[in-house]
Structure 1
């Protein structure tokens, strides 16, 4: 499995590929997601926790929310397709990521043409969705599906965009404008990770509207970005730390595992210490510990044996423990770039994890690890 393939799931910042930007950048909203899904994520939406408000989609119609009567046929179709995307992934909510996929599926719209012209394609969005949220364990019926709080906000902003433009109907293009204006959902993270800024999307939509003979009025001004837009738990990951994530996923795929756990991060750190990776700092640490990559692979194989087949990149998710590590290094590294050394310290901090136990079996106690790092 080539490292270029791994980048499909781990981001443009790792190896410079825009296709790879889909998944890692999509985590922009991970720490601000609403509850109500059947899959795990970390963080919470600002405000009290709880299920999304009971706004439902039925045959492309919204129930429990005002303003739907202004939706044109394309906008209604987007809602139906978003519900279909949720059902496809066994999700019991419609998130911004489902709306984005739906906008691309209805290709005969200004919204779809704007996205595709900027390089945001359905396959990339679905790759990100699979990686970040994964699939639910049980099938979902349409009657169970509600709008997530961020999708509800997106729809409200779409209605406002139509009003600000003085247009009688809300179209797919207004849903896209609402999506980028909301700016903190997974969809926005996917878009930005592909090298496309949210203002670029807005500008392209306005250009296509003008070309279609329905320009925005002269009085129209883009609303200011929402607070916190563009934040991601990976924003402060340096290139070396991002490389560890890519190598960790490669290890998970090699072992046939469907997740990246702390043990895979540990193997990624050991691979970074390989002379071929040209990372002298990590090589020095592992030389001081006297531990090799093959030793750790052998130890891990006795605890979590390989399945005998390689996983697909789209099957891989982050384990809850890995998400906690990512959150921990963001908190502990203050305002400086996050380094591989930060990941290693976070791993040994949880002495009950498989990764820490593997190190301990090989004689690398937390104290020895800190000493090797000069901490």
Structure 2
């Protein structure tokens, strides 16, 4: 299927891995595909999203808010102060947890937030310390995604749907516009939450993308 992708669409797929790496995620999801698509705002499909007010910046903020790994998942100073007034000191809790379980014990585990709880538990069991650093990482090395980063099931589904979008339009290539149309069909909680934060109604956005494509059809 990949040979049918246009150069821009291939760059989006490759760029999704780069986006995941920059965010410190060890999975490639629909959120990373959308961020990669927005790197080429002049491309069909992406241009429609830009016209709706979607940008790489507010999309990245939406991703952080939905899946964590950024400021959107953290408690602010006001929240911490409010908890402290109730006798809950977050910093002291973190210090005690790290003394007992190692650095980063309270950090969000890196795994696809769109996966089921049982699968996340299996992944966490695999990441238990096995000597070396406190998180099973040899001393002197820094945690983070290295090498190949896997595509999640929802990302694979989006790429498969992009092929179906091309077939439905009787087009032999798979372009950025088909990837965008596929992402707008996403029914997983991550995609839905992301578009909600962006103020985009997927059904309406799909109709606008298709309308923008008609003159060139």
TM-score scaled by structure 1?
Answer: 0.37
Pairwise CA distance, 1:193: 3.2
Counterpart of 2:12?
78
* Separation in 1, partners of 2:67, 2:201: 22
Alignment check: 8 A CA contact 1:71 1:169 kept:
yes
Pairwise CA distance, 1:197: 1.0
Matched, 1:91 2:25: yes
* Separation in 2, partners of 1:163, 1:123: 32
* Separation in 1, partners of 2:18, 2:9: 14
Per-residue CA distance 1:133-180 (angstroms, 9 max, x = gap):
23358221232x011010011111111110111000001111111111
Query: Where in structure 2 are there 5+ consecutive unaligned residues?
Result: 70-109, 111-141
Larger Rg: 1
- Between 1 and 2, higher relative CO (CA 8 Å, sep ≥ 6) is seen in 2
Counterpart pick for 2:41 among 104, 107, 116: 107
* Separation in 2, partners of 1:138, 1:207: 45
* Separation in 1, partners of 2:200, 2:152: 24
The structure-2 alpha-carbon separation of the partners of 1:78 and 1:113, relative to structure 1 and needing over 3 Å to count, comes to: same
Matched, 1:168 2:102: no
Matched, 1:207 2:211: yes
Counterpart of 2:197?
193
Pairwise CA distance, 1:189: 2.2
Pairwise CA distance, 1:95: 0.7
Counterpart of 1:139?
144
Pairwise CA distance, 1:129: 1.8
Pairwise CA distance, 1:185: 4.5
Q: State the SS of the aligned residue for 1:105.
A: coil
Q: Structure 1 segments of 4 or more deviating over 4 A?
A: none
The structure-2 alpha-carbon separation of the partners of 1:81 and 1:185, relative to structure 1 and needing over 3 Å to count, comes to: farther
The structure-2 alpha-carbon separation of the partners of 1:99 and 1:185, relative to structure 1 and needing over 3 Å to count, comes to: farther
Counterpart pick for 1:121 among 49, 55, 77: 55
Q: State the SS of the aligned residue for 2:145.
A: coil
TM-score scaled by structure 2?
Answer: 0.63
Count of matched residue pairs: 146
Query: Where in structure 1 are there 5+ consecutive unaligned residues?
Result: 1-66, 215-375
**Cα RMSD after superposing both structures:** 1.7
Q: State the SS of the aligned residue for 1:124.
A: helix
* Separation in 2, partners of 1:163, 1:131: 34
